[in-house]
Structure formats: C-alpha cells, structure tokens
C-alpha cells in the first residue's frame, strides 16, 4: 500500500504527514498532500489532455475496463483495508466494489456507440436565398482536466475511481483526485489500480493523479488551479458551499458539481397509511438505518395525516428501530456531528422523543422524534439533514397541509409518495410539487441506495446539489464534463476525432 501521493505516475512524499484514525487496528502514517503537489498534478493533467482528449472511444472504454479489472484483482486487499478504516462490514464493501467496477464498465459501454456525442448536422445550403447556409456540425467535446473530491461515506463508489472519475475519464478528461482522510489507504490502493491500468495501455501519466488530504489549503489549491475546468464533489453542505464559492470567484469561473445533502422526505397518503402503515414503518426503519444512516438518500422525514393510523405507524416504526443494533459510524467527527444534530432537534419545543438511544465514540443507535407541521414551519432548521440514523415523523391535518409542507421544503435528492389506488387523485397535485423539489421521485418504495442505470438521476435543486441539471449517477453524468462545439464549413476528413 502506497502511503504517498500519486503524481503523474510517480509516488511522491512530502515533508508533513498525518495518521489515519481507523475503526479497528493501528493508524497508518500518510504523506500529506500539498498545494505544490496539486500544481504538479494539474499541470500534468493539462499536458495529458492534448493526447487523452483525442483518443478513440475504444481506447477510453478499454481503459475503464482495465481499471475495473485492476480493482477486482485487489478485492481482498481493499476489503481488508476498507473494513479497518471505515468500520463498514465486508459484505457492504464487497457490494460497493461491485458497484464501482460496474460503473466503470457501464461508461465503457455507454461511449462505444457514440450517442453521448449528441451529433447534429445541418448540411450547407449554398443556393438558399437571401443568404446561403454554411455546413454546420455539432458534437460534444471534453472540457479538460477535472478535479474529484472523495466522499467519506462511500470509500469506493463515490471516491477515487467512483462515478465522477469514471464519467470524466469516459468523456476524455484527465482527473486529479483528492483523497478523503477517513479512508486514505483504501483511496491509495484504488489509485494504484488506476495507475496500473494506465501503464498497461501506455497512456500519458498525467491522465490520473491522487493527492492525499492536506487540510483546507489542498482543496482550495485544487479548485483554484487554472488548469482545472470542473469539480465533482460529494460531501457536506458547508464544505461544498465553500468550494463552490471558490470556483465562482476564480478569474475563470468553473462549474462545481456538488452533491451536498438531503433529508429525502416521504409522504404517506391516507389510504396507503391505513392499508399498509405497519409495513411502511418497518421498511422505513430498514431504509433509515442502512449503513448507520450514512447514505445521502437516507429518508429522514416521514409526513403523514394525523389520526389513529398515524399513531399506529409511530408505534410500528419505534418498535422496528428498537430492534436495530448499534452501528459503527465512519469517523468520530461524523458521530459527534450526529450527536450535535440530535441534541438540537430534541431541544425544540413541540418535538417529542419516541426513541433516544446512545451515540458514543463511533457507535450510534437509532433516534426517532415526532412533531406537527406547525412546529416544523416555525423551526425550518428541523428539516436540515442529520447524517445518521435519525428520523422525524411530521403529522399534518389534511392533504392540503401536506402539500403546503412539501412546497416549503428546499431541494432534495429524492422524495417519496406512498399511496394506494384511492390516493392517486390527491397524490397528483403533490407529485407536481415534488418533481420541482427533487431529482428522483419514488412511489411506494424507499430511496436508500441508488441504482446505477441509464435513467437514474442523483441530484436535485439546491442544496441537494449545486447544479440541478446534472446527475452524479447514471450515464447522463458524462454530460457534466462535455461541452458542445459547432464546426462550421469543416473540410471533409479534417478533425475526424470530433464527430467519430
């Protein structure tokens, strides 16, 4: 395992180090990233773009496939390091590794048919009057080097070779990755896999670099480097917003594709609540606590009409959550933030605790609170994400109040409708609200987990993400790292790479 920084094919140390804080086993010492190493990586990425940005789709697809192969070859080592660093169970990491390699192979297949280029051709009309029309060809072209920030909660699928990296490399963009301090060994091992795939195909070494954490200065240097043309980020609202502002303040502003958090509300309509309330409550408990609640699609709020069925739902949900054993959170800092968020909610007048269980060190158990819509309206901070297994049950007097509550929410990654056939008429106006609030609207399901597929959207209006027209999951993610170019009167056979 390399404990240094991968800069354009070379593993390089630095004068300062940090020690990891694993969930089990001793900490490892890693060389910190530095602004100087970031500058070297970004310069090499720009140099690599002049060849990699003009490679064939077949070459890039082969690169992605080779990365997947190299990751799979390191499967046992990744599980060993990843479970130690994060506390995640081996089965979860094995599944995430499969998702990571699946994403890489999905993008490899996606680019081969060329449909992502969105080619358009308006043939010349030299005899048109009063003015002739030139020959016009449009194609999507890669934007240049991309910066990717690893996520804390997905050490593989949203990190070194995750969806951001896979889609950028598929588009033809070199990538500079900033590792996450919660899992530096896992990140470095995946970086080794990417570099091995690059070496096997004799690609420019600047196509991929990996810089370890080195404090705020490293992240700032990366988003402000003049060679970086876009940023992919998954993390906290505060950290993401700070980087977003830096991107906007550059002499050349660049797009910041940040996924910043969401409470992913569920709305239970009356007939569904009456017919399936207990089953929905049990399913919610599973979704709410999956991975210790450390999923960005964790459904933190359930909204339902007041009455006997609501009371039964609360009882069923509380019982299901009591049966969930304590789980290990990714870092002590995340657990501390969970306790802080929990305490803030519990202190609000009108909030009733249904379950409050210990959350010490890195261990956390579920928490459940109940309130009414008026309390939520008077305390909008209650609708902010608490990262972990914490749920709010919000009761409303009628469907109209439920719809107004939905209108008051900020942007979300997901929103869910639980409805019965008899609820569809009332659900339609609510659906119109939710499609403006979320990137993915579910019916009679639970949002935890994001299917990697052509039609998936993982993004939403701010603050769920910083660009409501983008997704970080699914093949549409490649569009973030492409831009349309129109070629006018281009001679036949010239620049075939643009439309091939």
Dihedral sign of CA atoms 130, 131, 132, 138 in order: negative
Sheet holding 146-149, edge to edge: 10-12, 5-7, 208-211, 175-178, 146-149, 230-234, 256-259
Would you tell me the crossing angle of helices 75-86 and 57-73 to the nearest 10 degrees? Answer: 70
Q: Tell me which of 28, 46, 192, 259 is the catalytic residue.
A: 259
**Residue 11 burial (C-beta neighbours within 10 Å; 0-12, 13-18, 19+):** middle
DSSP codes, 120-131: EEE--BTT-SSS
Buried b (16+ CB within 10 A) or exposed e, 420-431: beebeebbeebb
Known active-site residue 314? no
CA 46 to chain CA centroid, Å, is 25
Q: What is the dihedral of CA 463, 477, 81, 288, to 10 degrees?
A: 50
If DSSP codes are grouped into helix, strand and coil, which group holds residue 10? Answer: strand
CA 247 to chain CA centroid, Å, is 19
Cα–Cα distances in angstroms (integers) from residue 500 to residues 55, 111, 174, 204, in the given order = 10, 11, 20, 22
Residue 478 and residue 116 in contact, taking contact as beta carbons nearer than 8 Å: yes
Known active-site residue 150? no
Question: CB 144: neighbour CB atoms within 10 A?
Answer: 19
Dihedral sign of CA atoms 151, 153, 157, 161 in order: positive
Q: Tell me which of 247, 296, 314, 335 is the catalytic residue.
A: 296
Residue (of 204, 53, 254) closest to 141 by Cα position: 53
CA 101 to chain CA centroid, Å, is 16
Q: Which residue has the tokens 């309509």?
A: 269
Whole-angstrom distance, CA of residue 424 vs CA of residue 431:
10
One-letter-per-residue 3-state SS of 70-85: HHHHCHHHHHHHHHHH
- Residues taking part in catalysis: 259, 296
């Amino acid at each position: 395992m390399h404990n240094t920084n991968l800069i354009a094919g070379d593993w390089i140390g630095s004068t300062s180090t940090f020690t990891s804080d694993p969930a089990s086993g001793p900490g490892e010492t890693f060389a910190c990233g530095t602004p100087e190493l970031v500058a070297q990586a970004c310069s090499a990425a720009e140099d690599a773009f002049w060849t990699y940005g003009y490679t064939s789709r077949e070459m890039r697809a082969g690169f992605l496939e080779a990365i997947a192969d190299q990751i799979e070859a390191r499967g046992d080592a990744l599980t060993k390091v990843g479970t130690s660093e994060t506390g995640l169970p081996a089965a979860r990491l094995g599944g995430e590794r499969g998702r990571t390699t699946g994403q890489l192979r999905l993008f490899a297949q996606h680019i081969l048919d060329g449909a992502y280029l969105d080619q358009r051709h308006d043939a010349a009309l030299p005899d048109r009057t009063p003015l002739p029309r030139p020959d016009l060809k449009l194609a999507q072209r890669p934007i240049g080097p991309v910066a990717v920030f690893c996520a804390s909660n997905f050490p593989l699928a949203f990190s070194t070779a995750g969806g951001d990296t896979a889609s950028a490399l598929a588009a033809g963009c070199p990538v500079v990755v900033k590792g996450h301090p919660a899992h530096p060994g896992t990140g470095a091992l995946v970086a080794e896999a990417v570099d091995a795939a690059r070496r096997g195909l004799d690609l420019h070494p600047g196509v991929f670099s990996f810089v370890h954490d080195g404090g705020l200065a490293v992240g700032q240097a990366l988003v402000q480097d003049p060679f970086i043309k876009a940023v992919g980020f998954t993390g906290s609202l505060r950290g993401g917003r700070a980087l977003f502002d830096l991107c906007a303040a550059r002499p050349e502003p660049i797009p910041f594709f940040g996924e910043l958090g969401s409470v992913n509300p569920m709305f239970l309509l009356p007939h569904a609540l009456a017919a399936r309330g207990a089953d929905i409550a049990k399913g919610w408990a599973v979704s709410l606590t999956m991975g210790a609640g450390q999923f960005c699609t964790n459904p933190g709020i359930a909204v339902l009409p007041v009455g006997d069925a609501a009371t039964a739902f609360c009882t069923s949900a509380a019982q299901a959550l009591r049966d969930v054993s304590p789980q290990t959170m990714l870092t002590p800092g995340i657990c501390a933030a969970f306790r802080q968020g929990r305490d803030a909610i519990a202190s609000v007048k009108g909030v009733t605790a249904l379950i409050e269980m210990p959350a010490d060190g890195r261990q956390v158990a579920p928490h459940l609170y109940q309130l009414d819509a008026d309390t939520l309206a008077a305390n909008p901070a209650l609708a902010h994400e608490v990262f972990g297994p914490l749920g709010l049950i919000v009761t409303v007097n009628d469907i109209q109040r439920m719809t107004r509550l939905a209108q008051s929410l900020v942007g979300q990654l997901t929103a869910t409708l639980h409805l019965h056939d008899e609820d569809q008429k009332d659900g339609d106006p609510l659906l119109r609200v939710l499609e403006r609030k979320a990137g993915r609207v579910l019916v009679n399901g639970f949002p935890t987990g994001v299917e990697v597929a052509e039609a998936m959207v993982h993004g939403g209006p701010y603050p769920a993400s910083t660009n409501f027209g983008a997704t970080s999951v699914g093949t549409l993610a490649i569009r973030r790292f492409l831009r349309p170019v129109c070629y006018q009167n281009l001679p036949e056979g010239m620049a075939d790479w643009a439309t091939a």
